[in-house]
């Protein structure tokens, strides 16, 4: 009996932002879906608007779906804890790798290579786009919380935006100019 897909269904049980008081809770499944949508968007912008023909939006979206799946086993370690020191970051990386190995062990051997590639992409651009989409998803969550009057997310929004700016990716800049303003609108304002 193989448990991989049943475990994937449990992503919805893993909460995010555990050290923050949120107006709207978010789980790993919701975050992963939004990250996948954003990874596809960033890759599409890179390919279709910035002329990068080698980028595959579908590969980026698929990698993003699975990017946090090991958290089913490890939990979502809050960013301030995860990055508190190099030692903690390295120890958590080992825990994440053990989670990946455990998840892969739930698949037939013939499928493991394909799934390992979601966590260890050979294409550096896929990895960079998924990382950017992951941060962008967190930033959008911060904006949603701020829009709801939750100032607890003010510093998280600022720090996350700084990290996005440091990435200096043209596709992120285009997303910020063309698509991000819509996240501040009401449904009626998007008509």
Q: What is the DSSP string of 84-100?
A: S-HHHHHHHHHHHHHHH
Compute how many other C-beta atoms are within 10 angstroms of the C-beta atom of residue 50.
Answer: 13
Question: In 105-118, which positions are buried (b, 16+ CB within 10 angstroms) versus exposed (e)?
Answer: ebbeeeebeebebb
- pLDDT for the residue numbered 51: 95
Choose among 33, 37, 31, 35: nearest CA to 18. Answer: 31
- pLDDT for the residue numbered 74: 83
Each residue's pLDDT expressed in tens, for the chain with a length of 191 residues:
789 999 999 999 998 888 788 888 999 999 999 999 999 999 999 999 999 989 999 999 999 999 999 989 887 766 766 767 888 788 878 888 899 999 999 999 999 999 999 998 889 999 999 999 999 999 999 999 999 999 999 999 999 999 999 999 999 999 999 999 999 888 899 88
pTM score, whole prediction: 0.91
Q: Which residues make beta-bridge pairs with 15?
A: 27
Contact call for residues 83 and 89 (beta carbons, < 8 A): yes
Helix axes 57-66, 109-119, angle to 10 degrees: 100
Q: How far is CA 104 from CA 4, 115, 117, in A?
A: 8, 7, 11
Compute how many other C-beta atoms are within 10 angstroms of the C-beta atom of residue 46.
Answer: 24
Reported residue count of the chain is 191
Residue 36, judged by CB atoms within 10 A of its CB (0-12, 13-18, 19+), counts as buried
- pLDDT for the residue numbered 86: 83
Helix axes 154-167, 124-147, angle to 10 degrees: 150
The CA R_g of the chain, rounded to the nearest whole Å, is: 17
Contact call for residues 34 and 140 (beta carbons, < 8 A): yes
Question: In 132-151, which positions are buried (b, 16+ CB within 10 angstroms) versus exposed (e)?
Answer: bbbbbbbbbbbbbbbeeebe
């Amino acid at each position: 009996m193989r448990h991989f897909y049943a475990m994937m269904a449990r992503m919805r049980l893993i909460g995010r932002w555990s050290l923050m008081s949120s107006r709207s809770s978010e789980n790993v499944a919701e975050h992963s879906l939004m990250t996948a949508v954003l990874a596809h968007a960033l890759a599409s912008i890179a390919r279709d608007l910035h002329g990068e023909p080698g980028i595959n939006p579908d590969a980026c979206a698929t990698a993003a779906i699975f990017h946090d799946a090991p958290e089913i086993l490890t939990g979502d370690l809050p960013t301030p804890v995860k990055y508190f020191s190099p030692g903690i970051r390295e120890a958590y990386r080992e825990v994440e790798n053990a989670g990946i190995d455990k998840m892969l062990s739930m698949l037939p051997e013939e499928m493991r290579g394909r799934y390992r590639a979601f966590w260890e992409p050979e294409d550096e651009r896929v990895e960079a786009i998924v990382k950017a989409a992951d941060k962008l998803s967190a930033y959008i969550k911060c904006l949603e919380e701020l829009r709801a009057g939750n100032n607890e997310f003010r510093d998280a929004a600022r720090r996350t935006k700084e990290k996005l700016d440091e990435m200096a990716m043209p596709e992120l800049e285009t997303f910020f100019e063309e698509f991000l303003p819509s996240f501040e609108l009401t449904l009626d304002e998007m008509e």
